[in-house]
Structure 1
């Protein structure tokens, strides 16, 4: 049974600084010569980009529902065999969601380091830390790190507020030099933060004086049986749009296509690159088309190649922002509209508030696909949905799935390893 030092970075809520701390910690231990593997809890595309830069290795998703227990177990065991340290960043607050970060930490006995923003807080820090540590006895607890601490005196007050038995991991002062910029869907993408390396390095420097600089205790990760994939996509060439407008791509999704036998290549609509002529299928992932609408509208070479691909009845799978790109137009929050590809009738309109957020599942004759939805646009179209995804806990109708000719499009971001057979059916254009 492989064992590896491991730590789960969580917090009472979002916005406490989990990603900054996890990235800095990954870089600190990497600088000390350790091989670091980082995982992100739950559905997320943005945090893993930054964590991958910090650790120097791909960051995969762990989620007991979306990814599944066996795949989580397999990925952790594989990481434990090759790494000197495993870090897992939680999602939202420690006990938020079903399943929660706490459920994941308890399942794999990974000790939790809680990051608590102490801004405008004194002795209540101790009560909050005590609650996180004792709320569930089955969740192993490593200690607490105070973030946004105003002074040495403030840090002393926070430390002395901790009940006996709770480990003080240190204090971090507020600093614009290490904080990560964000916007409506979360953090900025890694490639958009010009001084990201400097921010990560400064975060690592800051953490060097805390107890987090010490490797955590080893955790045993029992292995799972190897998963053998049938060559359901053998000989198929899948082209994937990938740039700042289309970047919400699970690394595990790409790896699945390849393990099913597909050849994968990438192109950039923002750079006006065409779909490769030899591509049999096209994947348009989510991202930020709304931030790059004018550039996309001017990328005529790329647009022509996508329309040619569709006219040849070749497969197109589009999710969220990728689906928006296929519509007639995109309307911004200021009312201005930009033409899109016109391959699906309708328009998307950006909103200032979330239109949808949550886990989704798609039930088909090939079984169930898991995933999630997270978008600020609403869509109007004359197309009738072929089916709807559902909310896994309530079974209420979720995101519609549209099919027109060789195109399958939806707001749902699917985690393809949850159903390789359905993934193959999508890229073969089969009914489901």
Structure 2
């Protein structure tokens, strides 16, 4: 018997451009509804790691990525169907501007029947706000721009002017003021991670309070999410222990990737290099991305971990080192201030942080284990004295092409892999 579709109100939170305040508005709406007793599930369009950390704190539930190219439609359908079974509201924060990119937020919204909330920075405008909202709504036939919200308003009167400018047929949903107390601080890769903001809950509560002052309770009609299931994961890692670095230096972990390892039967054990912890007893290890360049001294001083990792690799045990994890795996790493420190010495070479982007965009790598999809985003320049096993490519024809390096069973690259893009290939990286 075919299962029925699940009904749940949903909004794609997008904007005319980056920097308009999508994350702040999404977080404000999520926290506001949670405080009113509703269950909210939030997703992030694209491969971002940092926005989801804030949105997870705001909603109280893990935030998964949705990207038409990286995930594929089947994975997205399964995640939305699952969320609709447990939530009173689904929010999807978009990426860049509404129509930007080869697989845009608008594409995702239309493919899955998601109404759009357009966030517009109203700081330097009044009635023109309505013109922008109308343009977004009419630019593409078949796209449902349900509502609009303003960010960085100067006063209650300013919010009123913006609300009055919104054309008939587009719902005014709310506004956030210009206020440093509720801003979300950033740095070179995006927002400061939620775990490093000591006052994150105060900021999120301030956002929810501000949203309540100008918010409409209107929600679009529920979206019907048809039945869909995740692909079956074979228990090929049953009996295997996977040690994963996780702290402020190694914090870029997709929840979906951890799910794949658990579903494959792996026991996951986390450790903190910054706290001086050594490598736990394990069959395989994972050094994910993050900010090793901000913690050179602590990482360099952890001699025991360096010895453990070298013995692990030399014994032929699997190790995955991604982006920041690969930077730590090199002989040395230099930060933007010119400080250089000794790293793990698992891969011959050195890297230094630079002011301009070193890599940005989606990536696809065809490894001996199979094809994996993911992305790259970093400000480092690395000189690695090895020939890459393969080169990852950008599906949009962009210039970023990352080398994938292989030493015994260690795999290292600037590329962050999305494991559900090829579950069997991902699992194979953790097998001898």
TM-score w.r.t. the length of structure 1 is 0.96
1:11 matched to 2:15? The reply is yes
Structure 1, 229-238 or 413-422: larger mean CA deviation: 229-238
For 1:107, the equivalent position in structure 2 comes to: 111
2:48 aligned partner: 44
Please give the alpha-carbon distance, in whole angstroms, between the structure 1 residues aligned to 2:216 and 2:363.
Answer: 36
Q: Which moved more, 1:155-164 or 1:414-423?
A: 155-164
Q: Which residue of 2 aligns with 1:272?
A: 276
Higher mean displacement: 301-310 or 368-377 = 301-310
Measured in 2, the distance between the counterparts of 1:210 and 1:234 equals 52
Q: 2:126 matched to 1:117?
A: no
**Distance in 1, Cα, partners of 2:145 & 2:138:** 9
1:337 aligns with 2:340: yes
Q: Which runs of 4+ in 1 moved over 6 A?
A: none
Distance change >3 Å, CA 236–CA 396, structure 1 → 2: same
- For residues 110 and 37 of structure 1, the distance between their equivalents in structure 2, rounded to whole angstroms, comes to 14
Distance verdict in 2 for CA 1:120–1:294, change over 3 Å: same
Distance 1:146 1:249, change over 3 A: same
2:352 is equivalent to residue 353 of structure 1 = no
Aligned positions of 1:252-291 closer than 5 A: 252-277=256-281, 279-291=282-294
Helix, strand or coil at the partner of 1:421: helix
1:85 paired to 2:85:
no
Structure 2 counterparts to residues 203-282 of structure 1, below 5 A = 203-277=207-281, 279-282=282-285
Give 1:375 deviation, angstroms: 0.3
CA contact (8 A) 1:5 1:218 kept: yes
Question: How far apart, CA to CA, are the structure 2 residues paired with 1:226 and 1:340?
Answer: 39
Instruction: Decide which of 41, 59, 63 is 1:59's aligned counterpart.
Output: 63
- Contact 1:22–1:87 (Cα < 8 Å) also in 2: yes
Q: 5+ unaligned residues in a row in structure 2: which ranges?
A: none
Partner of 1:371: 374
Q: CA separation in 2, counterparts of 1:172 and 1:189?
A: 22
Consecutive unaligned residues of structure 1, counting only runs of 5 or more, are none
Q: Give the corresponding residue for 1:314.
A: 317
Q: Aligned in 2, Cα 1:344/1:212: closer, same or farther, shift over 3 Å?
A: farther
Residue number among 328, 331, 344 corresponding to 2:331 in the alignment: 328
Whether 2:169 is the aligned partner of 1:152: answer no
Whole-Å separation in 1 of the counterparts to 2:120 and 2:189: 22
1:420 aligns with 2:428: no
Is this contact kept in 2: 1:310–1:406, CA < 8 A? yes
SS in 1 for 2:140: coil
Structure 1 residues 328-337 or 160-169, which shifts more?
160-169
Per-residue CA deviation, residues 353-406 of structure 1 (Å, 9 max, x unaligned), is: 111100001124554211000000010021110110111122867100011122
Secondary structure of 1:261 counterpart: coil
| Contact residue 374 and residue 416 of structure 2 kept, 8 A | yes
Q: Secondary structure at the match of 1:177?
A: helix
Q: Does 1:173 align with 2:173?
A: no
Alignment: residue pair count: 428
1:73 pairs with 2:91: no
What is the distance in 2 between the residues matched to 1:138 and 1:367?
A: 37
168-177 or 155-164: which moved more?
A: 155-164
Query: Which position in structure 2 is the counterpart of 1:401?
Result: 404
Other-structure match for 1:303: 306
Q: 1:303 to 1:52 in 2, by over 3 A?
A: same
Structure 1, 246-255 or 166-175: larger mean CA deviation: 166-175
SS at 2:401 equivalent: strand
Q: Secondary structure at the match of 2:273?
A: coil
Matched-pair contact (CA < 8 Å) for 2:294–2:335: no
> Distance between the aligned counterparts of 1:15 and 1:396, measured in 2?
24
Matched-pair contact (CA < 8 Å) for 1:28–1:213: no
Task: Answer whether contact 1:25 1:213 (CA < 8 A) is retained.
Answer: no
Shift of 1:226: 4.4
Instruction: Indicate the SS of the match to 1:283.
Output: strand
Structure-2-length-normalised TM-score? 0.96
Q: Secondary structure, in 3 states, of the residue corresponding to 1:67?
A: coil
CA distance in 2, matches of 1:113, 1:12: 11
Q: CA deviation at 1:342?
A: 1.1
Q: Shift of the alpha carbon at 1:162? A: 2.8
SS of 1:16 mapped into structure 2: coil
The structural deviation recorded for 1:292 is: 0.6
Taking structure 1 as reference, are residues 139 and 58 closer, same or farther at Cα in structure 2, changes over 3 Å only?
A: same
Rounded to whole Å, the distance in 2 between the matches of 1:359 and 1:285 is: 17
Task: Assess if the C-alpha contact under 8 Å between 2:16 and 2:120 holds in 1.
Answer: yes
